Amino acid sequence: MQGAGHQHAGLFDGVFGRGDVNTSAGGWLQAMLDAEMALARAVERAGLVPAGAGAAVTTAVTAAAASGTIDEARLGSQAALTGNPVPALVRELTRIVPPEAAVAVHCGATSQDIIDTAAMLLARRALGLIAADLARAADTADRLAAAHRDTVMIGRTLLQQAVPVTFGLVAAGWLSSLDEAGAALRRVRELRLAVQFGGAAGTLASLGSDGPRVARLLAEELGLGVPVLPWHTDRLRIVEVAAACAGVAGALGKIARDVTLLAQPEIGEVREGNPPAELGAHRRALGPDGAAPKDTMASPDGGSVRRGGSSAMPHKRNPVAAIAILGCTRRVPGLLATLAAAAEQEHQRAAGAWHAEWEPFGDLLRLTGSASSWAVELLGRLIVDPVRMRANLEAAHGLPLAENVADLLAPALGRIEAHDVVARASVQAVAADVGLREALLSLDDVRQRLDEAGIGPDQIDSALDPAHYLGATRDFIDAAQASHRTSRTLPPAPS
């Protein structure tokens, strides 16, 4: 499915669009043409129209699309006449094809058959691209998990410092979420995309007894599934595509939110690096002339602006990829709700609820696609700062290890007293701005008890070592990586 004609040029496309998920007028038109051409071939194969009619339609329509003679804008405005653009499109196609092939155009179909089937084609393409992006992003997360398996950092709950983790575990969490959201997406793509073909009211009456056979041939032509029966007012497929996108958006939004937080200058544990040359392809394709938007541009005053930079504030390095992801993902829940609400459709075709699906469905694919493309960039050029991670952890005075120290002392002091002693020392440490170790050893009664119990400073040091309080961190990293290797053995998503 190639883009037909020019692309919608939105002023915010650099953030929300991607060149290869074309849900603009041109993308929809091409998908509708694909559906109509396939239908012409299907009815020919079913013997309902003269031999050659399907091929003639395909040839004529392909040529017209390539030469840009099908005017999207005109079709779009004529949608006002009948409530959708298909009748005008059919008229146009009838004009385009050889007269003897006209009988094969739109044969047995109703407008909804074409629009719904086109939506499935758009979804197949977009979900395939998104799945591929997720796989690439997951590969990168996998490498980050491996590289930072033992890079300790402070874990943070409720935006407060908690106990140590490793950045490898953080990356493993991202990895697992990418793999699981990707698997759900692939499942919907492979099992739930199906041709819609029911005719005026879902009976295919005008095809007599040939309807189901044509439906199967149409599905075969397009590589889509055959539904149990027409799904004109059973919108579960739409909701499932939307929900799979929302799952992806949730995973990507979480990663982007983590990056924006970790990249705060006061934390500084990660930052977005400059995009390597081989990245940014999806964004590049947005250029109207195929040219790449450069990663730097000359600034008004003669300097240059790098990605995420600011001419006025040379210290700024905005996490543009993470921000763009959040700009996309924050819009997904509202679109999901719109599509879920639209599932309540009347009788054999809905008066409004069906129409309300078209643009949101395209927007959802586009936004999820843009976010996944940004995620490939984000992870691919993420710069991790283990030194800063350790520094932030150490700046916590050892308090994140307080629980581990209390466990060390418990056999000697009893559980309650051990906790009490550590709590006292913690308060002391914060008040005096010293480490927990120093605070503990400054309590005379405690030192005496520790001496009696044979617990020396070495053991306390050991308990205060974050690497000794990581629990199952490595196990969890291993599990996420093992699961990822399994998922990689799946066949690639067909394009």
The beta-carbon contacts of 46-51 under 8 Å, at least 24 apart in sequence, are 46/210, 46/213, 46/214, 46/217, 48/107, 48/108, 48/207, 48/210, 48/214, 49/101, 49/103, 49/104, 49/107, 50/100, 50/101, 50/103
Residues 111-150 touching its own copies, rule: CB under 8 A, are none
- Cα four-point dihedral sign 145, 149, 153, 156: positive
Question: Among residues 225, 287, 386, 435, which is the contact residue for its own copies, using CB under 8 A?
Answer: 287
Residues 200-229 touching its own copies, rule: CB under 8 A, are 200-209, 211-212, 228-229
Element (H, E) at 49: none
Q: Which is nearer to its own copies, 340 or 453 (CB)?
A: 340
Give the residue carrying structure tokens 């044979």: 454
Residues 37-96 touching its own copies, rule: CB under 8 A, are 71-85, 87-88, 90-91, 94
Residue 236 CA to residue 226 CA, distance in Å, equals: 15
Q: Which is nearer to its own copies, 54 or 202 (CB)?
A: 202
The three-class DSSP label of residue 272 is strand
Q: Does 422 bind its own copies (CB under 8 A)?
A: yes
Specify the DSSP class assigned to residue 291. P
Q: Which of 480, 482, 489 lies closest to 171, judged by CA?
A: 480
The piece of 41-49, 54-62, 249-257, 439-447 that touches its own copies (CB under 8 A) is 249-257
Residues 361-380 touching its own copies, rule: CB under 8 A, are 363
Provide the minimum distance between the beta carbon of 130 and its own copies in the complex, in angstroms, as a whole number: 15
Are 273 and 284 contacting, i.e. CB atoms less than 8 angstroms apart? no
Question: Among residues 50, 68, 223, 333, which is the contact residue for its own copies, using CB under 8 A?
Answer: 333
Q: Which is nearer to its own copies, 387 or 451 (CB)?
A: 387
The piece of 52-60, 358-366, 379-387, 439-447 that touches its own copies (CB under 8 A) is 358-366
**Is 370 designated active site?**
no
Residues 428-487 touching its own copies, rule: CB under 8 A, are 430, 469-473, 475-477, 479-480, 483
Residue 271 CA from chain centroid, whole number: 20
For residue 454, give every residue at least 6 positions away whose Cβ sits within 8 Å of its Cβ, in sequence order, or none. Answer: none
Residue 296 CA to residue 289 CA, distance in Å, equals: 18
**Is 447 designated active site?**
no
Question: Among residues 63, 66, 146, 312, which is the contact residue for its own copies, using CB under 8 A?
Answer: 312
Question: Among residues 59, 161, 442, 459, which is the contact residue for its own copies, using CB under 8 A?
Answer: 161
Q: Does 29 bind its own copies (CB under 8 A)?
A: yes
User: What are the residue numbers of the active site?
Assistant: 310, 349
